[in-house]
Amino acid sequence: MPSETAPAPTASRHIEADAARLRREVPALSSVIDCFVPVLAAQAGVREEAPGWTGPLPARDEARLCAGEFLLSGSGFQDIAPCLPLAAARILPVMAASFPALARQLTALQAALRGPDAPLAAVAAAAFSPDRAAVPGVSPEVLGFAARQMAKPLLERQARDLAPLVQDIPWRRTFCPVCGDAPAFTRMLRVQDEAEYITGHGGHRFLRCATCETEWRYKRISCPKCGNEEPARLSVMHAEGRPFERLDVCEACNTYCLCLDCAEFIAIPDPAIAALAMLPLEMRAREQGYAPLVAQPWSASLERPAA
Amino acid sequence: MPKAFLIDTTRCTACRGCQVACKEWKNLPPVPTRQTGTHQNPPDLNPFNFKLVRFSEHMDKNGVVSWYFFPDQCRHCLAAPCKMASSDPAAILQDEATGAVLFTDLTAKEDFETIRGACPYDIPRQDPASKRLVKCDMCIDRVRANMLPMCVKSCAMGAMNFGERDEMLKLAAARLAAVKKTSPKAQLLNSDDVAVIFLVADDPLKYHKNAMAEAIQPMTRKQFMAKAISPLRRIGGQTVG
């Protein structure tokens, strides 16, 4: 795992500052930034406020981890339902302002979560299986979307507490060592070490979990979906003038994954803002028939490639 | 937020990647040179080399020769004597956001020897064609775009570091403590006064005669006089011209 310090309480400001820079650099993304950055900032605030993993940490079984069994494979995350009122109060009003077409349903959901018989368990379940939950006045699609946005920072906060348990495990899998989900984003990071030999300029490649944002090191030349390592069937797409943002494309499984090459950066941009900046690249990849390894909230509705 | 470099000479292998990367990024022309019995090449900073890895050899009392490497460059002084010595306040600027000391086209009208003499590290050079004074500009174009200076990006040994000043000072203190365990004479050079902090393991003079400023004086008497008469000199120049 990269040795980054835990996010400071200024995480929301960091996101907004990176978004302001992106807006200056790519004005065409302004409308998407206006929609999603307030939500991302609200999520960062919830991540700071949330209690995280409560009680004793799960037992760490190194043998099972080394054999490829992720940490929460037998138990899953702790129930997020008790924290949903906090997340709803912070995130749903922001979402309602960002997505006016959904405002009525989001307001209804917020009202439902405030009541004495709040369907907390149902909404928590909707984050993972939207079709199995129902809240009056809220469509399954909107419920799933809103529930995922509320659940994400709560799960990330739990995962942050669990990260030390997998920190020094030589995990080189394509799924998260904490929760087992797929990566939605990758980064090339230069990691400072005390080695007295020449180190590569490109840094190590880290995959970032779509659900809990845990990061783990992975091979640089290997598809994080199918494991293809044939150089001739792995390629990179990037936009002119922004070589540090790229899509790693696998011709073997027709999948792409977002990658931010941080080797040249002074300050590492927030991963969510970096992912948002790659929306034009994602559109190009979809047009060429590639599918995302995991869709981002802003790219989920892009046209799916023909089967 | 002011920026700073930490140049850890204990990690430098004198590969000169930084020197070449600087030249490439700035698109500076080649300089005729010749072998002078040292790997230091070119022999000194010049208008087309803003970064130079200096080589020095020293033999100890046991006959063991040690090689000292010093990737020399502008220190981007916090209170820059070159700026104080300039006659036109717009000739040399200090970028508020980064602390970079920047020479503008107006330096062509400055007295080169006065500006060069003001620098305790003997950094400024003059372009013979444009008469502009030149030196490292911290890759300000890259830094404003959140990109590392080229010399830092190119360093494969981790000798060149760049970031927020407080972070670099922390890193410098940590590295100094580590190096001191094996090199008791290790020190940071002028770390309170400059934005380019060198960590050396031995007497700074063994690295380069201008590795360290004895004491940065805002202005010598000579520079003060030069500055005082510079408006008159310029008027005189205009009259004559």
pLDDT in tens, A104-154: 999 999 999 987 888 899 999 988 886 666 788 899 999 999 999 999 999
pLDDT at B116: 97
User: CA of A4, closest CA in chain B: separation in Å?
Assistant: 14
Question: Which CATH number goes with the domain that contains B68?
Answer: 3.30.70.20
CA atoms A188, A195, A66, A162: torsion sign: negative
User: For residues A190 and A262, what is the distance between their CA atoms, to the nearest angstrom?
Assistant: 7
Res B221 pLDDT > 90: no
Q: Do B120 and B25 fall into the same domain?
A: no
Q: Do A196 and B11 touch (CB under 8 A)?
A: yes
Q: Strand A183-189 vs strand A255-261: parallel, antiparallel, or unpaired? A: parallel
Task: Please answer yes or no on whether A200 and B3 come within 8 Å at the CB atom.
Answer: no
Given a cut of 60, whether residue A5 has pLDDT beyond it is no
Q: Tell me the CATH number at A198.
A: 3.90.1670.10
Counting the structural domains of chain B, the total is 2
- What pLDDT shows up at residue B224? 52
Same structural domain, A188 and A162: no
B117 shares a domain with B56: no
DSSP state of A241: T
- Give B241 or A24, the one with higher predicted confidence: A24
**A265 and A222 within one domain:** yes
In a domain, A1, yes or no: no
Helix (H) or strand (E) holding B93: strand B92-94
Claim to verify: residue B11 and residue B104 sit in the same structural domain: no
**Contact yes or no for A266 and B146 at CB 8 A:** yes
Q: Which residues contact A205 (CB under 8 A, 6 or more apart)?
A: A186, A187, A188, A217, A218, A219, A220, A259
Query: How close, in Å, is residue B212 to chain A by CA atoms?
Result: 26
Is residue B67 domain-shared with residue B149, that is, in the same domain? Answer: yes
Shared domain for A20 and A159, answered yes or no, is yes
Task: Report the domain count for chain A.
Answer: 2
> What beta strand segments (E) does A152-219 contain?
183-189, 204-209, 215-218
- Is A172 part of any domain? no
Q: Which residue has the tokens 């809240």?
A: A135
Query: Which among B15, B146, B154 is the top mutation candidate for probing chain A, defined by the most A β-carbons within 10 Å of its own β-carbon?
Result: B146
Q: What is the pLDDT of residues A48-74, one digit of tens each?
A: 999 999 999 998 899 999 999 999 998
- Domain hosting A194: range is 183-292
pLDDT band at residue B186 using 50, 70 and 90 as cut-offs = very high
Residue A76 covered by a domain: yes
**Residues from chain B contacting residue A192 (CB–CB below 8 Å):** 158
Q: Kindly report, residue by residue over A270-301, the tens digit of the pLDDT.
A: 999 999 999 999 999 999 999 999 999 888 77
Q: Which residue of chain A comes nearest to B15, CA vs CA?
A: A198
pLDDT (0 to 100) of residue A7:
47
Residue A196 and residue A113 share a domain: no
Number of Cβ within 10 Å of residue B197's Cβ equals: 24
Task: Give whole-number Cα distances, B172 to B4, B119, B169, B175, B196, in Å.
Answer: 11, 24, 5, 5, 11
For residues A130 and A206, membership in a common domain is answered with no
Rounded Cα gap, residues B196 and B160, in angstroms: 10
Burial A126-146 (b: 16+ CB within 10 A, else e): bbeebeebebeebeeebbbbb
CB–CB of B162 and A266 under 8 A? Answer: yes
What are the C-alpha distances in Å from B40 to residues B45, B67, B209, B241? 11, 12, 15, 42
Nearest residue in chain B measured CA to CA from A263: B153
Residues B151 and B233 in one domain: no
Whether B163 and B201 share a structural domain = yes
Give the nearest chain A residue to B10 (CA atoms): A196
Is A196 an interface residue toward B (CB < 8 Å)?
A: yes
In a shared domain, residues B69 and B151: yes
- Residue A281: inside a domain: yes
B11 and B50 part of one domain: yes
* Whole-complex ipTM: 0.82
Distance (Å) from the C-alpha of residue B157 to the closest C-alpha of chain A? 5
Query: From the centroid of its chain, how far is CA B184?
Result: 25
A207 and A124 both lie in a single domain: no
Residues B154, B177 within the same domain: yes
Q: Is residue A17 part of a domain?
A: yes
How close B84 comes to chain A (CA, Å)? Answer: 29
Given a contact cutoff of 8 angstroms between Cβ atoms, the answer to whether B57 and B37 are in contact is: no
Do B47 and B89 belong together in one domain? Answer: no
At B8-35, the pLDDT tens digits run: 999 999 999 999 999 999 999 999 988 8
Task: Answer whether A198 sits within 8 Å of B143, measured CB to CB.
Answer: no
User: The domain containing residue B166 runs over which residues?
Assistant: 3-29+37-76+144-207
Answer for the pair A26, A32: CB distance below 8 angstroms, yes or no: no
Note whether B146 contacts A263, CB cutoff 8 Å.
no
> Which residue, among B157, B76, B91, has the nearest Cα to B121 in the 3D structure?
B76
One DSSP character per residue, B44-73 reads: S-BTTBS-EEEEEEEE-TTS-EEEEEEEE-
pLDDT tops 60 at residue B227: no
Residues A90 and A125 in one domain: yes
Statement to judge: residues A20 and A158 lie in one domain:
yes
- Answer yes or no: do B101 and B190 share one domain: no
What pLDDT sits at residue A118?
A: 86
Q: How far apart are CA A210 and CA A203, in angstroms?
A: 22
Strands (E), A140-240: 183-189, 204-209, 215-218, 234-239
Give B142's contacts in chain A (Cβ within 8 Å): 264
